[in-house]
Amino acid sequence: MNHKRVTADLRALVGVVQTRQLPFLAAAIAYYAFLSIVPLLIVGVTVAAAVAGDAIATEVLDSLNEFLTPSTADLIEETLVGGSGRGGVTAVGLAVLLWGGLRVFRGLDIAFSRIYGEKSPKSLPYQVRDALLVLLGIGLAIAGTAALGAVVSLVDLPFAEITSTLGLVVVLTAVFFPMYYVFPGQEISAGDALPGAVVAGLGWTVLGAGFGLYAANAGSLQLYGVLGGVLLLLIWFYFGGLIILLGAAVNVVRSERDEDRQLQQGPLREGMQRSMTEADGPTDEDSPRGDSETDDVDRTAAPSAGAPGDVPSGDDPGDGSGDPDGPTGRRDPDVSARVTQEDIDELRRELDRMERRLEERTVGRDELEANLKRYVRKRSRRGHAAGWGPYLVLLYGTAMTLGAFYFLSSGFAVLAMLIIWLSTLGLYALMVVVGMTVKGAQLPGRLLDTIRNFR
């Protein structure tokens, strides 16, 4: 693999990320993953506390300290293990879990279809089917890797850290493989799906190492308590989803490169076959003279035999058989007799009609410049911040929420967060109204462009 190919693949990968809007899709996946994973943790802790006692629930919470900040884990333990509101939280968690779990896999399915360039997403039954297949595949992969890990743990392997890291990459690759094999909207082979799964496995390994580094220094890095844990979890989900989608983009770039190579090898193969045919020399069928030369040789050989009454072909000036190729060279001698002046005139008229049709279909320079000017005027009237409204609202809500939790404490922080969320919705509605007003202000310009187009 040379440097040019790597550079071309990286450019194509960046193009896929930008055109398919992978960051936006990753944000949607992070939202639905948060709605699915957090209720799952709450339900798991509640069931563990109700069935096996508070000690088991405490052990479960202790295992979550690797991924949550201490204040977040303490809040969950204080809320659930204490016994208050377990039934209500569990019911709500199950309902949200079922809805969010379905949405996260449907979101992944839609994202994969968009990355692979599908014009329309799959129907709901197909999305549910793919989600169930992926869940089944992930479950089997986790069970298989758990059994393999139990066997490997009994063996004393050298270089434990390196071996565990490589094993984690293999495990994550096996877990993610069903996504890359089932979710694409077109049939692909296992070999085509494997590179994306490997990229996702490597990316999640690096992401987990960074997350573990934060968990090890959480005492000195945490600034916003529970909110910091929630934001960190959302960030983790976002980058995790982005890595998964990046693996799908890698598979798309590889498939497009293979298709381009096949298209390029087709004409090259035909050219090589043509060159080999020409090197072998012309055959009797390819020769323009063919059997006519044999007939001419037979005719010229007969007078040389000295047969009585034969007249040499060259003695008759009116006979064109003296030229072995005929009066028109290598063509049929009767062609010139069949072609008339009317045929030539008809051919000229046909050429004139073809030239006029080509001129009619050719875009004129003035017309092209006018179209470009209209396009530039239309784009310049549109705001440069078009499409950035949701991101600005999200930035506003995040900044205000962080400020509320930094300057306030206890219940006032929660109240401020609710107020900020409501104001964020109001700000978004205000931006929608402003956007509609701006579009209404652009209406006269669009009407003017329409009138100019009619001219």
HEC letters along the chain: CCHHHHHHHHHHHHHHHHHCCHHHHHHHHHHHHHHHHHHHHHHHHHHHHHHHCHHHHHHHHHHHHHCCCHHHHHHHHHHHHCCCCHHHHHHHHHHHHHHHHHHHHHHHHHHHHHHCCCCCCCCHHHHHHHHHHHHHHHHHHHHHHHHHHHHHHCCCCCCHHHHHHHHHHHHHHHHHHHHHHHCCCCCCCHHHHHHHHHHHHHHHHHHHHHHHHHHHCHHHHCCCHHHHHHHHHHHHHHHHHHHHHHHHHHHHHHHHHHHHHHHHHHHHHHHHHHHHHHHCCCCCCCCCCCHHHHHHHHHHHHHHCCCCCCCCHHHCCCCHHHCCCCCCCCCCCCHHHHCCHHHHHHHHHHHHHHHHHHHHHCCCHHHHHHHHHHHHHHHHHCCCCCCCHHHHHHHHHHHHHHHHHHHCCHHHHHHHHHHHHHHHHHHHHHHHHHHHHHHHHHHHHHHHHHHHHHC
Q: What would the pLDDT profile of 334-351 be if each residue is shown by its tens digit?
A: 555 567 778 888 888 888
- With bands split at pLDDT 50, 70 and 90, how would you rate the model's confidence at 166? confident
Look at 195 and 320; give whichever has higher pLDDT.
Answer: 195
Q: Is the pLDDT of residue 331 over 60?
A: no
In the predicted model, what is the mean pLDDT of residues 244-256?
89
- pLDDT at res. 207: 85
- With bands split at pLDDT 50, 70 and 90, how would you rate the model's confidence at 309? very low
- pLDDT at res. 400: 74
- With bands split at pLDDT 50, 70 and 90, how would you rate the model's confidence at 61? low
Of 41-50, 342-351, 365-374, highest mean pLDDT? 342-351
Q: What would the pLDDT profile of 19-28 be if each residue is shown by its tens digit?
A: 888 888 888 8
Q: Is the pLDDT of residue 12 over 80?
A: yes
- pLDDT at res. 161: 67
In the predicted model, what is the mean pLDDT of residues 410-422?
68
| pTM, full prediction | 0.51
Look at 189 and 449; give whichever has higher pLDDT.
Answer: 189
